[in-house]
Amino acid sequence: MTIDPDFGTANTGYLVFSQVALSSYCHDLLALPDGGVMAAGYQTTLGGMESDPAMLALNAQGELDARYWQGGIRVLSIDRTVDDANTGLDTFYAAHLDADRERVVMLGRSEGPELDRFQGLLHAVALHDRLFRDGLEAQ
């Protein structure tokens, strides 16, 4: 495996990605059938005390792939108003391509109250429908 010097920001071989959030982290990176990649991780909010699961799609040139989520980035905002003491460290840990190579399945966790400390997260992204609606978009 070698670094592709033509990939990413200013052809440096890596991608420099900045956003409005304080920080973001990638737990897993998945190569897509069309040469792009999809990242699974989180974006921190509220002074770093809370994180929301995030997905990032890049095309084969290392640019945000606007065919996904109408911009290449999707953050699933988890409502924490019911439990103010909960830090809400929610994240995607893994991205897997299904056997038919038609969907990416994101796996992660969502912290709950003490009695229900960790809950599973499962989210699917259809590759054949780039404007896939997951029911979480603003109405």
pLDDT tens track for 55-70: 888 888 888 888 887 7
- DSSP single-letter state for residue 70: T
Whole domain around residue 104: which residue ranges?
A: 22-79+86-126
Highest mean pLDDT among 9-18, 31-40, 109-118, 119-128: 31-40
Structural domain count of the chain: 1
- Whether residue 54 is contained in a domain is answered as yes
- Whether residue 65 is contained in a domain is answered as yes
- Whether residue 38 is contained in a domain is answered as yes
- Whether residue 136 is contained in a domain is answered as no
Q: What is the pTM of this model?
A: 0.68
Listed in sequence order, the residues at least 6 apart from 69 whose beta carbon sits closer than 8 Å to its beta carbon are 55, 57
- Whether residue 96 is contained in a domain is answered as yes
Q: Per 3-state DSSP, what percentage of the chain is helix, strand, and coil (rounded to 5)?
A: 5, 40, 55
| Cβ 55 vs Cβ 38: under 8 Å | yes
The tens digit of pLDDT for each residue in 101-126 reads 888 888 888 776 554 555 566 667 77
- Whether residue 134 is contained in a domain is answered as no
Given this model, what pLDDT does residue 7 score?
A: 57
CA distance 120 to 42: 15
- Whether residue 119 is contained in a domain is answered as yes
CA distance 38 to 22: 21
- DSSP single-letter state for residue 105: E
- Whether residue 44 is contained in a domain is answered as yes
| Cβ 102 vs Cβ 127: under 8 Å | yes
Please report, for residues 46, 58, 84, 113, the alpha-carbon distance to residue 52 in angstroms, rounded to integers and kept in the order given.
Answer: 11, 20, 16, 16
